[in-house]
Amino acid sequence: MKLLVVDDSNVIRSQIKRSLALNDVEIIGDAANGIDALNTFRSQQPELVTMDLTMPELDGLHCIEQIMAINPKTRILVISALADKETAIEALKKGAQGFLCKPFSDTELNEALQELVKDE
Amino acid sequence: MNEIDEHDLQVFIDGVLHYFTQISNETAEVRIPYLIKDDLILDEYTGMIDISGNHKGMIYYSAPRAMLRHILLSLGENGNDDELYSDLIGEIANIISGNARRKLGSDFNISVPKVIRDEIIHMMDMKVHQFAIPIRWKVYTSSLIIRLH
């Protein structure tokens, strides 16, 4: 499965890429804001997306909405520092399937992604 | 607008402790918070978050370059340049502020981080509660600065 990594922090994008240990998941690109994420999403058509929420240009919640409008089968794991329940519920309502709170460990990231792809 | 109290401060202290335990399996030591009364000289790198909603003000996390280098290594990042340090300090400020919403709620609105270098915070508005929380991790000392009202 093709994965797009979206986060405005280069440190976090690199951490996600380094930590990924799922054999059937291939990272096909990354983006530092919602606009770049949508452009890469349209051109690369990934099945999986990790999505930050607090980003410049276009935030993660709006980006999720637009991704789901393009392809509602996309599986989105939100990875955010926003730790309140309301934000997690809102992200899930907009179409995300999982929520991982920063800071995260390698194990937590892989478990969350595994949960997302297990029915494929 | 809610006033900041000791429970709010504890939320941020818990966030700092959680961050360092998660990235390094090594507990940070949080020293006694103090009220800032004079201008405050920041460390080499400072991440700033604008707060709006049920609180208004700023959260700063300030750290020396050597500490950021060590944190990057703990995250498995071998890069070593200003851009990475600035990115990291902004992300730490973002994580500590964002995690505080678990207790302070979704009306504790945070901005994307801004980064400043080698600056002084001028304590012009003394009506604002201004606390500094010294944080010791390994051999380094950094500061979380909370200016909220």
Q: What is the pLDDT along chain A (120 residues), one digit of tens a residue?
A: 999 999 999 999 999 999 998 888 999 999 999 999 999 999 999 999 999 999 999 999 999 999 999 999 999 999 999 999 999 999 999 999 999 999 999 999 999 999 998 866
pTM of the model: 0.93
Q: Do B98 and A102 touch (CB under 8 A)?
A: yes
pLDDT of B35 reads 86
Q: What is the mean pLDDT of residues B86-95?
A: 97
* ipTM topping 0.90: yes
Q: Where are the alpha helices (DSSP H) in B65-142?
A: 65-74, 82-99, 101-104
Q: Do A9 and B90 touch (CB under 8 A)?
A: yes
Cβ-based burial of B128 (10 A; exposed 0-12, middle 13-18, buried ≥19): middle
Q: What's the gap between Cα A54 and its chain centre?
A: 12
Tell whether the model's pLDDT for residue B56 goes beyond 60. Answer: yes
Q: Which of B18, B84, B102 sits opposite A84 (nearest CB)?
A: B102
Read off the tokens for B80: 């070593």
A33 contacts chain B (CB < 8 A): no
pLDDT of B79 reads 87
Give B123-145 pLDDT, tens digit per residue.
655 567 788 999 999 999 999 99
Give B4-47 pLDDT, tens digit per residue.
777 888 999 999 999 999 999 899 999 998 888 777 788 999 99
Distance from CA of A67 to the nearest CA of B (A): 22
- Residue B31 gets the label, from left (phi > 0), alpha (psi -120 to 50) or beta, of beta
Q: Which of A8, A84, A104 sits opposite B101 (nearest CB)?
A: A84
Selected residue with higher pLDDT from A36 and B1: A36
Q: Which of A19, A84, A87, A104 to mutate to test the interface with B (most CBs of B within 10 A)?
A: A84
Tell whether the model's pLDDT for residue B121 goes beyond 60. Answer: yes
Show residues of chain A in contact with B72, CB under 8 Å. 11
Q: Which of residues 119-148 of B touch A (CB under 8 A)?
A: none
> How many H-runs (helices) and E-runs (strands) does chain B carry?
4, 10
Show residues of chain B in contact with A103, CB under 8 Å. 18-19, 22-23, 95
